[in-house]
Amino acid sequence: MATRDARYERIMYPVDWLEERSGLVGGLRYFLFRKVPGDTNWFQTLGSATLTAFLIQALTGSILAMYYKPDPKNAYPSIVHISNDIWAGWLVRGMHRWGASVFIILMFLHMGRVFLFGAYKYPRELNWIIGVLLLALGLAEGFTGYLLPWDQTSYWATTVGININGTAPFLGPYLAQFLQGGTYINADTLSRFYAIHMLLIPGAIFALIGLHLYLVIRLGVTSPPWSKHPAGSGPLAPEPEPPRSGLTRPAPRRGVRG
C-alpha cells in the first residue's frame, strides 16, 4: 500500500504544485463537480453543444486565416487553393462552413429549451438577455462570414443584405454605408467584413460567453418543468465525503495546508 501511495503522490505532484500556487484545480473542480438537479436531462446539454460548436468555429477559423487572403484579387483564388490544393483544406473549410449552420441551429434549439423550460425566469433574466445578444452576434458572424469566399453568391447576397440594413428607418442608410465602407461595395468592404468576422465579433462572443457561464454557475441549473422536487428546497441531507473527491487527493500534503 505504501508504495502505491508514494507512486500516486509522485504522479499527482505537478497537479498539487499548480493548485498550491494558483487555486486553479480547485476552481476547475468547483466548475465541473457542482450540484445539479437530479432530474436534468439531455435537453440541458444543448448549451454545452452550442459552446462546443463555437469553439470549433474559432479553431477552424483561426487555421483558415493562415491561408485566406482578404483582398478582392486574391480572396476567391485563396479559397480555391484551400479547398483543392492544401492538405485537408477541404475538410477544415467544410467544418467551418457546415459548423456555422450547426452553431446557429444549436443556438436556436438551446434558446427553445430555455424558453420551454421557463429557465429565463427570475433570477435568470439577465442570462436570457446575454443569450439574445450572443444570438445576434452569432447571426452577425454568419452575415459577415458569407462574403468572404468572394464569389457571385456571396457578393450579391451581401449586396442584398447590406441594402436590407439600409432600409431600416432613420439610421439604416448610415449603417449600410458603414458596413460597406463607402457608397458601394468596394475593396475595403471585404477586409472590413474579415476584421469584423474574425476579430471584433468573436472577441465580444468570448466575453459574453464568459459572463453567460459565470451566471450559469452562480445561479445553478434549472429543474425541468415536470420536476417533482420543489424549487429552492435546499440540499436534502449532507452527503458523505467520497473516498477521492475530484481531481486532487482528499488529504492535503503534509505540512502545507494541514
Cell of 255: 505540512
Interacting span for another protein (CB under 8 A) from 29-37, 177-185, 222-230, 234-242: 177-185
Residue 167 interacts with another protein (CB under 8 A)?
yes
Interacting span for another protein (CB under 8 A) from 5-13, 99-107, 175-183, 211-219: 175-183
Buried b (16+ CB within 10 A) or exposed e, 37-49: eeeeeeebebbee
Q: Which residues contact 91 (CB under 8 A, 6 or more apart)?
A: none
Q: Which residue is it, cell 465580444?
A: 204
Tell me how far apart the alpha carbons of residues 190 and 75 are, in angstroms, rounded to a whole number. 9
What x/- string results for residues 139 through 158 when contact with another protein is judged by CB under 8 A?
Answer: ----------------xx--
Listed in order, strand segments (DSSP E) in 124-250 are none
Among 31, 186, 203, 252, binds another protein (CB under 8 A): 186
Q: Which residue is it, cell 464568459?
A: 210
Residue 159 interacts with another protein (CB under 8 A)?
yes
Smallest separation, CB 74 to another protein (Å)? 10
Count of H helices and E strands in the chain? 10, 0
Residue 166 interacts with another protein (CB under 8 A)?
yes
Q: Which residues contact 2 (CB under 8 A, 6 or more apart)?
A: none
The residue (of 68 and 155) whose beta carbon lies closer to another protein is 155
Smallest separation, CB 172 to another protein (Å)? 7
The residue (of 12 and 196) whose beta carbon lies closer to another protein is 196
Residue 235 interacts with another protein (CB under 8 A)?
no
The residue (of 96 and 197) whose beta carbon lies closer to another protein is 197
The residue (of 87 and 122) whose beta carbon lies closer to another protein is 122
Among 7, 73, 229, 257, binds another protein (CB under 8 A): 73
Smallest separation, CB 89 to another protein (Å)? 24
Type of residue found at 141: E
- Cβ distance 64 to 82 under 8 Å? yes
Phi and psi at residue 201, to the nearest 5°: -70, -45
Among 16, 51, 63, 173, binds another protein (CB under 8 A): 173
| Residue numbers 103-142 binding another protein by CB under 8 A | 122-123
Environment class of 16 (CB within 10 Å of its CB; exposed 0-12, middle 13-18, buried 19+): middle
Three-state secondary-structure class, residue 4: helix
Residue 220 interacts with another protein (CB under 8 A)?
no
Q: What is the DSSP letter of 74?
A: T
Binding residues for another protein, rule: CB under 8 A, are: 72-73, 122-123, 155-156, 159-160, 162-164, 166-167, 169-170, 172-174, 176-178, 180-190, 232
